[in-house]
Structure 1
């Protein structure tokens, strides 16, 4: 596997440039880029890292022997890398394209592009990385890093050089002497840490600490008194809820008793004749009772009239009645 092409557009001093590298043969698999100071050798190395690893490239550039300070964060690095003439011409993008071959017929093409505000050259925080699989230089369907479950980092881990060991393959030759000046134990340590992923674990631990600190800072002054009031209110609400549940149980039992009484009353009404077809409801029974009472009252009045008007004459002697 080898890098066969690097193309730079509006990257640092390169408005546009292409570099092609031959297939390694006979064990000659090391590529050296030479040139006078200030002619862009380091720019090619930086472009290689940025295209492959994106924002994670900054720390790897530092490990590859380049002088990177904390002030040169990813946005600042990109804005300084954006070609000055392109910015003055009103262009708004910078790109790096890399092709690495698995064989003569199979290859991958990675095209990463960054976008800037016109004229100001400030990075818009927008970038895209498109990956093509090449078969005899014919592109397949593009895949976007981070879309539809595709991750460029996984592709590089499986088919090329993972980010955490990249500095062992791409580095500034002028700085390699610093490695030679270290004790051999330190060299072995650095190599093993890179190969075993210790560097990644340290980065993860640092990110977790930053995340924890950030979350703690987000939680400002905690109002303990307010929490106590809320706890008391919650406790009182729970007690009221328990009381309501007990009352609900009592009312449920009472409802069952009332239903039983209603059923008993219905049975009594039915046995008293309420089940006949002409009397359907308790209301009908009440109306019928009231009617009977009225009839009884009328009969009582008639009886009183009979007793008052006719009965006395029947009790008098017939002779007396004839005389009158």
Structure 2
């Protein structure tokens, strides 16, 4: 599948109709679109995603979700998306059109045979009427292929790119490094989503969820009035927690919008102060100090968030030894229970065997066995049986001074706590704290230096600018603090939802189910088992190839793998997590020691996740186009060279890269020129953006 052409009309920076030819071939699969920050690279990506998914935009990426939340809702977000120049000319409609070639399409009578592998998707929005229209068109006959909107949405999900797979097709390469910071369960969920959408397993997993919901509803039918009230209370509590989470996320979106405005105001005040200042013989470069302070503040915010996350599990880390002891005790308790049950069952079977052997017919003809002889062998058989079977059970049965009276939910909570602690390492805690403290100290030093520089420059107008800047700085700090508080509250509510769901399931187990519903539940459970087994087997088949492909990609990309001596990563294992939680990927060094992903550098994390995404895409039946914003993020020169030469040229049959000239310099562009089919430069006149053929070093007027 390839996106051969895109037409953007009056969307954001793109005034009028801006056509983009993205055609590629087997030898040249890359399209490079260059542009400075703010010139429209991200909005170009946004236009494509919006064209395909409309108001479902927020489901694809957190960035898109936050942008919509800043404007309160989807319609407000759309109203802000019309080009400013077009709006001044009283144009009230914008649109995006995509021509898609080389894709498998359903057999439709209205499809012209010459266009059986091509289709045009167009979405437009009218800011006056607030009406949005989606069109799916045959490129030869120009006929609409569907009348019903639901059919159009299903067509895009079934034959173009499923919405849940979109985040693996349209992504910010720098931000994907954050996936390496996810917990085992969260990363497992990410991989589960990816493989599910790429392999088509999501249909079966959705069916599993539907059957489980159906079973829960059947169970609720037989509940007593008291149980019904308790179940309803739990359902309402879960809804209230979800509402609270949405509220905190909306507040954070407002805060992010405010932060953007405050940062802009602070930059303006700094520029005004610099323009009004006469630094004379000052040995300090005020602009350089400001740049360093800005970078350190970003780093401080990132580290503060990471530190807050770590601080929540610090008590668990301190108690990790005790948690392990409790878990081992529970394992022994469970073993004793199992062995006790087995011993009891064995004893009953032994008694029955002896009884059948000595006291029940048939007996041998003309037997001279006296009653006394029978009793002797009866008692001997009992004694030998108990020695042979019960002694073995007793050897395995450990003595416990006491037993924990914990529910399954309590036991699971202990195991989850241990798993959470095991994902972190002592070195990671210490390095995060040290880095956070070092950043704070450096920031304080630079702030003091800046204050000294400004103190030598002060006059009335600079004093006024400084006062306004200090106020904006204070408000910025408050907004960041509010976001941190809300994130902590969101985590608490998510834990609450998890606890409530467990209680909800416990209540359902107490319901007396009638005979008719028992039959339905039993049959549904059979279907459920078959589906779960099928999904598990599919993942089991893919885990080895997934591990192999990830390692191969990392070996190409990470120069540490090619150094002499011990290899940085020598093996990768993929494990299927229990309860449908996806897959866990573990990295090992040459000493067979696990490499914690959290200790990787940001660049190494980006390479790891890039390798993971490529390995997942290799499992796809159909080749998908890949669109990448900020392609080289935080990578060093050697890693950049490896990514450009060995990653993008065979990532997919069509790879569209949105880059700045700092990421793909003219020299780097020349290195990959043999793989480049088209190159463009986004040119902005201060308001609108247009495309010129060629890259930064050479483009056509």
Output the TM-score relative to the length of structure 2: 0.25
Q: Distance in 2 between matches of 1:152 and 1:175?
A: 31
1:132 aligns with 2:137: yes
Matched, 1:113 2:112: no
CA distance in 1, matches of 2:144, 2:130: 22
Alignment partners' CA distance in 1, 2:59 and 2:134 = 19
Q: Taking structure 1 as reference, are residues 4 and 39 closer, same or farther at Cα in structure 2, changes over 3 Å only? A: same
Q: 1:163 to 1:171 in 2, by over 3 A?
A: same
Deviations 1:252-292 (A, max 9, x none): xxxxxxxxxxxxxxxxxxxxxxxxxxxxxxxxxxxxxxxxx
- 1:284-295 equivalences in 2 (<5 Å): none
**CA separation of 1:186 and 1:32: change in aligned 2, threshold 3 A:** farther
Question: Which residues of 2 match residues 32-181 of structure 1 at below 5 A?
Answer: 33-62=33-62, 67-68=66-67, 70-72=69-71, 73-102=73-102, 106-117=117-128, 124-134=129-139, 138-143=140-145, 146=148, 151-181=151-181
How many angstroms does 1:193 deviate by? Answer: 3.0
C-alpha contact 1:112 1:128 (8 A) present in aligned 2? yes
Greater CA drift, 159-168 or 173-182: 173-182
Cα distance between partner residues in 2 of 1:20 and 1:116: 28
Q: The residue matched to 2:190 in structure 1 has which SS? A: helix
1:94 Cα offset (Å): 0.6
CA contact (8 A) 2:98 2:122 kept: yes
Structure 1 residues 180 and 51 mapped into 2: Cα distance closer, same or farther (>3 Å)?
Answer: same
Equivalent residue runs for 1:233-312 within 5 Å: none
Find out whether 1:22 has 2:27 as its counterpart: no
User: C-alpha deviations, 1:174-209, integer Å up to 9, x for none?
Assistant: 3233234546764342121352549989x999xxx8
Cα deviation, residue 102, structure 1: 2.0
Residue number in structure 2 paired with 1:317: none
Secondary structure of the 1:110 match is strand
Q: Distance in 2 between matches of 1:56 and 1:94?
A: 18
Partner Cα distance (1:39, 1:159) in 2: 32
TM-superposition CA deviations, 1:72-130 (whole Å, max 9, x none): 3211211111111111111110101011112695311011111122xxxxxx2311111
Q: 1:142, CA displacement in angstroms?
A: 1.4
For 1:44 and 1:131, locate their aligned partners in 2 and report how far apart those are by CA, in whole Å.
20
Aligned-pair distance for 1:168?
Answer: 0.6
Aligned partner of 2:13 in structure 1 is 13
Residue 287 of structure 1 is matched in structure 2 by: none
Aligned residues between the structures = 196
Q: For 1:178 and 1:160, how far apart are their aligned partners in 2? A: 27
SS at match of 1:52: helix
Q: Could you say what the CA RMSD is over the residues aligned between the two structures, in angstroms?
A: 3.6
Distance 2:67 2:173 in 1: 16
User: 1:230-259: per-residue Cα shift (whole Å, max 9, x none)?
Assistant: xxxxxxxxxxxxxxxxxxxxxxxxxxxxxx
User: Whole-Å Cα distance in 2 between the matches of residues 128 and 14 of structure 1?
Assistant: 20
Q: Which residue is equivalent to 2:296?
A: none
* Alpha-carbon shift at residue 39 of structure 1 (Å): 1.3
Judged with a 3 Å threshold, the aligned counterparts in structure 2 of structure 1 residues 184 and 213 are, in CA distance, closer, same or farther, namely closer
Rg bigger for which structure? 1
Unaligned runs of 5+ residues in structure 2 are: 104-113, 214-234, 241-701
How far the C-alpha of 1:10 sits from its partner, in A, is 0.7
> What is the rounded CA distance, in whole Å, between the counterparts of 2:127 and 2:34 in structure 1?
31
CA displacement at 1:49 relative to structure 2: 1.1
Instruction: Report the equivalent of 1:240.
Output: none
Matches within 5 A, 1:178-189: 178-182=178-182, 186-189=186-189
Distance 1:185 1:213, change over 3 A: closer
- State the Cα deviation string for residues 28-52 of structure 1 (Å, max 9, x = none): 6565544221111111111111110
- State the alpha-carbon separation in 2 of the partners of residues 36 and 162 from structure 1: 31
Distance 1:102 1:62, change over 3 A: same
1:95, 1:19 → 2: CA distance? 14
Distance 2:30 2:93 in 1: 32
Change (3 A) 1:187 1:43: same
Q: 1:200 to 1:113 in 2, by over 3 A?
A: farther
Q: 1:184 & 1:48 partners in 2: Cα distance? A: 32
Q: In structure 2, do the counterparts of structure 1 residues 62 and 186 end up closer, same or farther at CA, with 3 Å as the change threshold?
A: same
Written as runs of structure 1 = structure 2, the 5 A alignment for 1:201-240 is none
Does the 8 A contact of 1:6 with 1:97 survive in 2?
Answer: yes
Higher relative contact order (CA 8 A, sep 6+): 2
**Which one has the bigger helix percentage?**
2
| C-alpha deviation, 1:158, in angstroms | 2.7
SS of residue matched to 1:159: helix
